[in-house]
Structures are given as C-alpha cells and as structure tokens.
Amino acid sequence: MITAEYARVMARYNRWQNVSIYAAAEALGDAARRADRGAFFGSIHRTLSHLLWGDMIWMSRFAGLDAPPVANIGESPDMIESWADMQSRRKALDAQIAEWAQTLSDDQISRDLTWHSGVLNREITRPFADLLVHFFNHQTHHRGQVHAMITAAGGRPDDTDLFIMQVENRA
C-alpha cells in the first residue's frame, strides 16, 4: 500500500538526486548539456526541461501549484531555455514537492483524483496512490536517462541507491 510516508521518502529522494544530476550536468558545460545524445528528448537539457514540466503539471493537479508555462507535452523539452532559470525552477519546485509531501495523509492518498488530461484530451479519474507512484517513477525514469547521458559525456553523478540516501540522512 502506498502511504504518506512513501511520498515523503520519495520527495527527499527526488531532491537528493536532482542535486546530484544538476551538479554533474553543470560541470559538463552548456554545449555538452545541449548536445543531441540520441535519447528520447535528445539532450540532457531538453530531458531535464521535460522532467521539470512533468513535475509542474502533476503538482498543479496534486497541490494546486502553477501549471507549466507551456501546456503541450510536445513543447516541454524546450520550455526552459536558460540553464540558470532551469536550475532555479528545479530547486524551488523540489522544495515545494517536499513541503507538499509533508502535508499528505494516508486518507488523501486513498482517494481518487480527477483531472483533464491534455495527452488524452478528456477528463480522467484514477486512484491518487497510482498517480503518486507514476509521479515519482516518471522522475526516476528520466533522471536515469540523464544519468546515462552525463556518464557517457564523462560526468560523474552521485550514486542513485535509495538506501544510501537513507543512511546518509540518518547519520
């Protein structure tokens, strides 16, 4: 069963991993971040922009935060042009995700959520717990792509194992 504690752990994991990924991407430089590396969204920069977009769209549904500045998923890879702006938005959104996760209750997670899906162009209702798993899984999926691109470019993101974060944060 998905619980509020799961959301809190995953929100911490999200923030921890983004700090690592963004630091490793920063060290590569702008040209390397924007190089087409054959991934679904092409580059590190475009994949991180899509991931930011996805987190923003889900948080607008989950917590009433502002929706992303572009509504169409197809525009998501080019949503943020400036690396500095993307870093700033990522840091702020990760703080909001962590704060939001602290407010969740198991009762809220046990309910359904209804929203309008732009991808399917219709209203959708799904169990909130399933959407919560999707939200965090989507982050991990795209960060994995970015991790691979950074590594192939010669960068060194930190470890990704959840248990390492849990040990480090309890020390």
Query: What pLDDT, in 10s, does the model give residues 66-97?
Result: 999 998 999 999 999 999 999 999 999 999 99
For the chain, the DSSP string reads ---HHHHHHHHHHHHHHHHHHHHHHHHH-HHHHHS--SBTTBSHHHHHHHHHHHHHHHHHHHH-PPPPS---GGGGGGS---HHHHHHHHHHHHHHHHHHHHH--HHHHTSEEEEEETTTTEEEEEEHHHHHHHHHHHHHHHHHHHHHHHHHTT--PPP--HHHHHHHHH-
pLDDT tens-digit map of 32-69: 999 999 999 999 999 999 999 999 999 999 999 999 99
pLDDT range class, residue 147, cuts 50, 70, 90: very high
Total-model pTM: 0.94
pLDDT band (50, 70, 90) for residue 171: very low
CATH number of 4-170: 1.20.120.450
Domain ranges of the chain: 4-170
Q: Is residue 150 scored above 80 in pLDDT? A: yes
